[in-house]
Amino acid sequence: MQPKQIEVKAALEASSAQAQEAARQRALLRTSGVIAALVAIVAIVDVFSHGHFLTETNLTNVLRQISDNAILAVGQTFVIITAGIDLSVGSLIQLTGVVMATFANAMPFDGIPLVAATLLVGLVVGCFAGFVNAVPVVRLNLPPFITTLAMMLMARGLAFKLSNGQPVPLNSSAFDTIGTGFFFKVPIAVLWMAVIVVVFAFLLTRTRFGRYVFAIGGNEEAARLAGINVHFVKTMVYVISGGCAAVAGLLLMARFSSGSPQTGIGDELHSIAAVVVGGTSLMGGRGSVIATFLGALLIGLLNNAMDLLNIESYTQDIVLGAVILIAVVIDELRKRYLRA
């Protein structure tokens, strides 16, 4: 690397760090808004549900139900910050679930070694799919919408083909703890979600890789001129997304004791919704893993509240769509106000 390039890179990193600090302040404001919405929903629904909403059992169920979507949304956050999008994550849940269930049934050993080996296989499949997603984007500059849409169709078709369109029941009970087990009244799936959120929040906000992700989303050409390996960083965000899909696939496979080609349909939209509601910009350069988790929690609480209030599923879709639209409009108005 040339001295001039090193200086530019250092300047960009310093500028990126300053931008991240400013972004953290704005993220705190957005997070406060999501938290205020959560508090309002909890207060209002608990009154109308006659106290059935704020119960330990119900809130535990909400956390368990959002665990897979929150994990998907974490990977989706990295992709969207780089101004990309990953439409394949729902289908990767299907594919990795079927592959992991088939693998687990074929293994002669059981217990923790089986769970670890199965997770490793799922991660290999998910991360490889993420790599395949990334190659046309970073090498041929193709729109990620198209490349991940193609992967969505391929992964879904492959999942149905491998399973003959039928769920693959698990022969081992080693996965029951992950799917339905508890640790001091906390579902194991929720602990998996918490670990994923904390680890990737740290990666995004406290590492050089995270700064590069923001820099590429803010101005990819400037990042490239500064000597940042744009191809590597953009490839890795899609690999992370595919890996998160594999973990979500494991949790759902364990919960239902089978790998099903039907599981995960439409989950890519739910993950994008969580990211958007959490305040991550679809234009790239701005976002937060913690805010994404709060977005997933807000959507989960909304769905649960409407279930308790006996609101039909079609109306729930209307409400969720309205919430997403309002979140995007508020975010755009906030950006215009800050520029003024």
Domain coordinates in residue numbering, the chain: 3-339
What is the band of 18 on the pLDDT scale with cuts at 50, 70, 90? low
What is the reported pLDDT for 247?
A: 97
Average pLDDT score, the chain: 87
Task: For the chain, give the number of residues.
Answer: 340
Calpha distance 164→144 (Å, rounded): 29
Say which amino acid occupies 320: L
String of b and e for 271-303 (b: at least 16 CB within 10 Å)?
Answer: bbbbbbbbbbbbebbbbbbbbbbbbbbbbbbbb
pLDDT > 70: percent of the chain: 88
pTM tops 0.95: no
Closest alpha carbon to 80 in 150, 12, 144, 152: 144
**Mean pLDDT, residues 218-231 taken together:** 92
> How do residues 258-315 score in pLDDT, each as one tens digit?
999 999 888 999 999 999 988 888 888 888 999 999 999 989 988 888 888 888 888 8
pLDDT at 336 over 90: no
Q: Residue 27: what pLDDT?
A: 60
Residue 127: count of CB within 10 angstroms of its CB? 21
Q: Are 268 and 88 in contact (CB under 8 A)?
A: yes
Tell me what pLDDT residue 6 has. Answer: 58
Q: pLDDT tens digits, residue range 158-179?
A: 999 999 999 999 999 999 999 8
**Residue 134 clears pLDDT 90, i.e. is over it:** yes
Given pLDDT bands bounded at 50, 70 and 90, which one contains residue 46? confident
**CA dist., res. 191 & res. 187, Å (int):** 7
Residue whose C-alpha is closest to residue 148's, from 159, 132, 128, 162: 132
d(CA 229, CA 223) in angstroms, rounded, equals 8
- Supply the pLDDT for residue 64: 93
104-116 pLDDT, tens digit each: 999 998 999 999 9
In eight-state DSSP terms, residue 182 is E
CA angle centred on 305, ends 307 and 309, rounded to 5°: 55
Report pLDDT for 4: 56
Q: Which CATH class is domain 3-339?
A: mainly alpha
CA distances from 251 to 15, 26, 81, 299 (A): 39, 33, 26, 19
Query: Is residue 264 helix, strand or coil?
Result: coil
* pLDDT computed for residue 116 by the predictor: 96
Asked if 289 and 29 count as a contact pair (C-beta separation under 8 A), the reply is no
Assign 195 a pLDDT band (cuts: 50, 70, 90).
very high
Average pLDDT over residues 184-209: 94
Q: What tokens were used for 57? A: 């059992």
Residue in the structure block whose two tokens are 């919408």: 145
Burial of 225 (0-12, 13-18, 19+ CB in 10 A): middle
So what's the pLDDT on residue 253? 95
Q: What is the mean pLDDT of residues 194-215?
A: 95
Q: Averaged over 12-37, what is the pLDDT? A: 61
pLDDT at 101 over 80: yes
User: Looking at per-residue confidence, does 337 or 279 come out higher?
Assistant: 279
**Tens digit of pLDDT for each residue in 53-77?**
778 888 899 999 999 999 999 999 9
Would you state the pLDDT for residue 286? 86
- pLDDT of amino acid 45: 75
pLDDT at 71: 97
